[in-house]
Amino acid sequence: MKNNTISICKGIGILLMVIGHSACPAFMGRFIYSFHMPLFFIASGYFFSTKYTDDKFLFIKKRFKGLYLPFVKWSLIFLFLHNLFFKANILNARFGRSELFSFEDILKKAFNIITSMGDYEQTFLGTFWFLRSLFISSILFCLLFYLIKKLFHLRNTNTALIICLIAFISGFIMSLWRVKLPYIPQGGIREIYGIFYFGVGFIFRNSRINENLKYDNVILISSFILVCIISYINPTSLASNPKLKLYLGTFIPAILGWIMTYKFSSWFDRRKSYNIAYLTIKKSLLYLGNNTMPIIVLSILSYKIVSYIKIAYYGLDPLLIGCHPVISWRNYIFWIFYSIIGLTAPLLLNYLFSRTRFLRFLSFK
């Protein structure tokens, strides 16, 4: 189902993700991390249909194909290339956080990748926690929705509200007593976040909340100002092991950030203009929003292109190429170049994959 407003939201989200990993200025990073990952969970929940509660296996099949398979495929590819990258110094122990893997290490990691969506190669695929979390949280949301609906016969939005409450309380307990869920990499708190924000997206679409949020310009500007203030006073992110204060602090800026992004995207989509700059930006955001997967997979590797240029320009130690994710030294302007390459190189590679017969299996469909 195509929705230009949501595609623009996702385009903005993936743009912010790439900028956030580029060692951008600190104030910008705090602003971005306060809402950009919840935005993707909310956007995904926006499209959840109650028809899947009657055909749960169809939903699981779609999630398996769209999230699990890309996770496993690219995690294994990067795993098997790890030692090659290490010997080429693209990864190294001095400035990175890598080491050579033994054959036994590779087998163990491959097993964990396939069975638990864990132990993936962190240096290039640090964003892959999102694929696992969305895969698990969306399926759990679907199953919980089915059970609660069947037991209590509630309205759809009320059912989703109960699921959000369950997720919130679960996360509260986990962050208060430092509880970790077994068999889920990183302890499961991000999956709890995922269930909550997935539910928020469903409620946002199926209730009258959006209709009641009138005065779009006032809401947009107010949300932006509030997110800026909150991110400055109390920086947050979807950390994998948050303390209670950090956990509780994530929800308001995340929801305000979603409202801000949605209102802007809705206005931007509805705007009637034939200005070339506007049309180019709109088309670019739509394209980014509809092609997020290659950027999620390949953006951090693409940063290495700029790192090589930076090393050559400043005459730095070549082993600095192993810095993760970027070389942050003297990054006043280079973060812009990192961001541009982090967006464009993955899309160009995907185009190359799709147009080259023997590389077509690497393309993102």
pLDDT reported for residue 272:
84
pLDDT reported for residue 211:
74
Give me the mean pLDDT over the 31-42 stretch.
98
- 76 vs 322: CA distance, rounded Å: 20
- 39 vs 44: CA distance, rounded Å: 9
pLDDT reported for residue 76:
96
pLDDT reported for residue 8:
98
pLDDT reported for residue 216:
81
Decide if pLDDT at 259 tops 80: yes
pLDDT reported for residue 97:
75
pLDDT reported for residue 1:
57
pLDDT in tens, 343-359: 999 999 999 999 999 99
pLDDT reported for residue 318:
94
- 23 vs 303: CA distance, rounded Å: 11
Q: Is the pTM of this model over 0.85?
A: yes
pLDDT in tens, 296-330: 999 999 999 999 999 999 999 999 999 999 999 99
Give me the mean pLDDT over the 58-68 stretch.
96
Angstrom distances, CA of residue 110 to CA of 68, 101, 120, 242, 299:
14, 12, 8, 28, 22
pLDDT reported for residue 77:
95
DSSP 242-308: --HHHHHHTHHHHHHHHHHHHHHHHHHHH-----HHHHHHHHHHHHHHH-HHHHHHHHHHHHHHHHH
pLDDT in tens, 149-177: 999 999 999 999 999 999 999 999 999 99
pLDDT reported for residue 181:
93
Phi/psi at 231 (nearest 5 deg)?
-65, -25
Residue % of the chain over a pLDDT of 70: 99
DSSP 81-144: HHHHHHHTTSS-TTTSS--PPPHHHHHHHHHHHHHHS-S--HHHHGGGHHHHHHHHHHHHHHHH
Q: Is 239 exposed, middle or buried (0-12, 13-18, 19+ CB in 10 A)?
A: middle
Give me the mean pLDDT over the 270-294 stretch.
94
pLDDT reported for residue 94:
87
Eight-state DSSP code of residue 208:
S
Decide if pLDDT at 184 tops 60: yes
Give me the mean pLDDT over the 21-44 stretch.
97
Among 195, 260, 199, 267, which residue's Cα sits nearest to residue 227? Answer: 260
Q: Torsion angle of alpha carbons 119, 120, 126, 127, nearest 10°?
A: -110
CA 349 to the chain's CA centroid:
20
Decide if pLDDT at 217 tops 90: no
- Mean pLDDT lowest among 80-84, 97-101, 131-135: 97-101
Q: Which amino acid is at 170?
A: S
Among 122, 144, 126, 120, which residue's Cα sits nearest to residue 56? Answer: 144
Q: Collapsing DSSP states into helix, strand and coil, what is residue 332? A: coil
Decide if pLDDT at 215 tops 70: yes
